[in-house]
Chains A and B, each alone.
Chain A
């Protein structure tokens, strides 16, 4: 039941909340605006918020100069590839944990989550050396493998929490009717589990897209995703803010939109169920 509050109070809160919201969002807004400026206007003082000559030139130049879409392609392949591979490994595991739990299920799940808490520098040296010796450095396959492993615990965990909400009686009924394991999965479980799988997929693509420890350390150029491509703008020579902004806008826009749709999954996936 919403409590009645005075209109004046409501308007005050509205103004304060909008100001704070816009202040927090401002760096993103500023990046988007700067991407439509010329390099000269991008560093102009005083800066102009909207009164400048809008141009799309930066977007074309980012592509022409540095083959931007190669990096976009790498980001997509790595993020989607590692998510799909993770789902392939995690779905059977989560299914087994949710529907045939044993005394040890909880321990296995907890152990899986604990691997997520291992700091990446703890394994940086051996992974780097293994990659160097097997030719996996700067390869998309190698990165897909690493990102699959670092996100696997979250995928298993999220799927488990979704699967557990599916009533087990339905499965038992299917079994009584003589459905085989394969049929049970295809006709009963999959339709009911699909929303959970989709949510898990969404959150994991976001996490893999933004991952910036392994992607920076294990790629040079040919497999570099957007995180590494943008990092190349940190070189001090020259000010290319407008182009940096254009590249950044394209890099964050699709993920930001996906993120807005996946707030609930974010809470479920990243707090490991400790907050509901």
Chain B
């Protein structure tokens, strides 16, 4: 019953959300674009001047950008590999009937609710500390030399920490998708003599493919912006070994006060995230029609 009256009421009700989000998106983003074309350092106020594409040239040709880009891709790729691979395996396991299913499920999803600074510091201190950490104790127990995780393999260590946080998310989504799989279909395949492996490849995996895609896309969007875990463990170091794009832009802006270069970096990050977002939006859009 969409009369003209209800139409305008509806518009009025949507207005605050739409206007606020529009302002939130356009004003700061517009400012970032504007700053990215200025020579603008907070240590030299009043010296701002137009500099064209200098900031982009500076940011993109800075070796730190290449390092940070590679680190970002390794971080996202590594976490995806562990969380999606492990998530599929865990979901398949938890989908089977066993005693205490509900409790195990709660145990598995718990890490997702731990705030990033807590999980990073717990791992950094109580597990990865080279002298007192549990990993060091385990290494010594087996007569091995303990390694200083965050100094020797900083990026890998951060991948482990972040993967621990996101494995539960992947597991939960994939388990939900798995539970919507038609049991009869699986049984029919079983009766036709399909073994567990071929049932997995021809029935389960195709059914999961969309959920897996969604998990990959959503995790990628969040993983491109990993920040707190790096800040409290390695500060991006040693050197630039664990600096990702988000951390690099943060360092440019709030540690070196170079607003121009940081803004150019921010725009580069936005463009990268958009590439992923386009694919995700397509899937969401299709689902909204259905």
A contact set with B: CB distance below 8 Å:
1-3, 5, 10-11, 13-14, 16-18, 20-22, 24-25, 27-28, 30-31, 34, 42-43, 45-47, 89-90, 92-93, 95-97, 99-100, 102, 106, 108-110, 112-115, 117-130, 149, 152-153, 156, 172, 175, 181, 206, 209-210, 212-213, 216-217, 226-228, 230-231, 233-234, 239, 241, 244-245, 248, 251-252, 255-256, 258-260, 263, 266-267, 270-276
Contact = CB atoms under 8 A, between A and B. Distances in A.
Nearest to B171: A24
A24 to B, nearest CB: 5
Nearest to A272: B284
Given A123-B32, A181-B9, A271-B218, A210 B115 contact: yes
B93 A13 contact: yes
B110 interface: yes
Contact of B287 (A90, A266, A273): A273
Contacts of A5: 96-97
A126 to B, nearest CB: 4
B126 A123 contact: no
A144 B173 CA distance: 29
B270 A118 contact: yes
A147 B32 CA distance: 19
Nearest to B167: A24
Q: Nearest 4 pairs between A and B by C-beta? A: A259-B113, A92-B13, A126-B31, A212-B228
B111 A28 contact: yes
A74 B25 CA distance: 26
Contacts of A273: 284, 287-288
B187 A3 contact: yes
Nearest to B229: A212
B167 to A, nearest CB: 7
Among A24, A239, A260, find the residue whose CB has the most chain B CB atoms closer than 10 A: A24
Interface in B246-290: 246, 249-250, 253-254, 259, 262-263, 265-267, 269-270, 272-274, 276-277, 280-281, 283-285, 287-289
Contacts of B262: 124-125
A110 B137 CA distance: 50
A22 to B, nearest CB: 6
Interface string B81-122: 000000000100110111111011111111111111111011
Nearest to B103: A21
Given A16-B93, A115-B25, A149-B24, A227 B117 contact: yes
B164 A24 contact: yes
17 contacts: A45-B137, A100-B9, A109-B288, A115-B21, A117-B276, A122-B267, A125-B262, A125-B266, A130-B28, A216-B228, A216-B231, A217-B250, A230-B115, A231-B231, A234-B121, A252-B113, A272-B284
Interface of B: 1-2, 6-7, 9-11, 13-14, 16-18, 20-21, 24-25, 27-29, 31-32, 35, 90, 93-94, 96-101, 103-119, 121-127, 132, 134, 137, 140-141, 164, 167-169, 172-173, 176-177, 180, 183-184, 187, 210-211, 214, 218, 221, 224-225, 227-228, 231-233, 245-246, 249-250, 253-254, 259, 262-263, 265-267, 269-270, 272-274, 276-277, 280-281, 283-285, 287-289
Among B2, B90, B122, find the residue whose CB has the most chain A CB atoms closer than 10 A: B122
Contacts of A258: 113
Contacts of A31: 118, 122, 126
A255 B7 contact: no
Contacts of B228: 212-213, 216, 227, 231
Nearest to B233: A234
B164 A121 contact: no
A89 B289 CA distance: 25
B271 to A, nearest CB: 9
Among B112, B121, B132, find the residue whose CB has the most chain A CB atoms closer than 10 A: B121
Among A122, A233, A270, find the residue whose CB has the most chain B CB atoms closer than 10 A: A122
